[in-house]
Amino acid sequence: MSIFLGFFPDEKSNVEIANVSESVKEIFEGLGIAVRWSNPKTYHSTLLFLGKSVSPIKTAYLKYKLKKFQFKKFSIKFNSVKLGISRKYRELIYLDFLGGGEQMRELYLQLKQISGEKSDINFIPHLTLGRVNKDLSGQESANIIKDLAIVSKKMDVNKISFEVSEINLVKSEDDNYFIQLKITSS
């Protein structure tokens, strides 16, 4: 079980993201590299990961504090498909953002303060498509990165966009997502 604050793409964008993911899958299948793909029904962007287990008391307190939280609606626009968001997450296959990333960073800092979260991470706005199941060699990574750039251009990833007018407190368990609280934009 995990709990996070984040948002989900609209239905149209979700279909477009799933189409991009299918094209990306072909790259990895062609190279014989196993990947744990994200379920298209649960595509989301995490603003703040709260943990693998959060006590019911902390969850209730967080819900109380978030009821007063307000944010302005903003637009998300994707840039391209990438591999390896950081040294710690070299296996991550993700969509990065051309638009909306700054608003996400601001929300991350506000939500971190409200939640009292102390972890110090380098927040990088993204939407996860999958995770590679093995350590890639330098040559494998270089080849995949080139192929992902081609797919990004071919699939017009930068034309996928949507409005974020709702942030959710979500509990996830075994690929099932349960919305605990909806926060709508002002």
Residue 45 has a pLDDT of 97
Class of the CATH-defined domain 2-184 = alpha beta
In this predicted structure, what is the pLDDT of residue 1? Answer: 79
Q: Which residues of the chain have pLDDT under 50?
A: none
The angle, 0 to 180 degrees and rounded to 10, between the axes of the packed helices 56-66 and 101-115 is 120
H or E stretch at 16:
helix 11-31
Residue spans of the domains in the chain: they are 2-184
Residue for token pair 């995490």: 46
Q: How far is the C-alpha of 99 from the C-alpha of 76, rounded, in Å? A: 5
Looking at residue 37, its pLDDT comes to 97
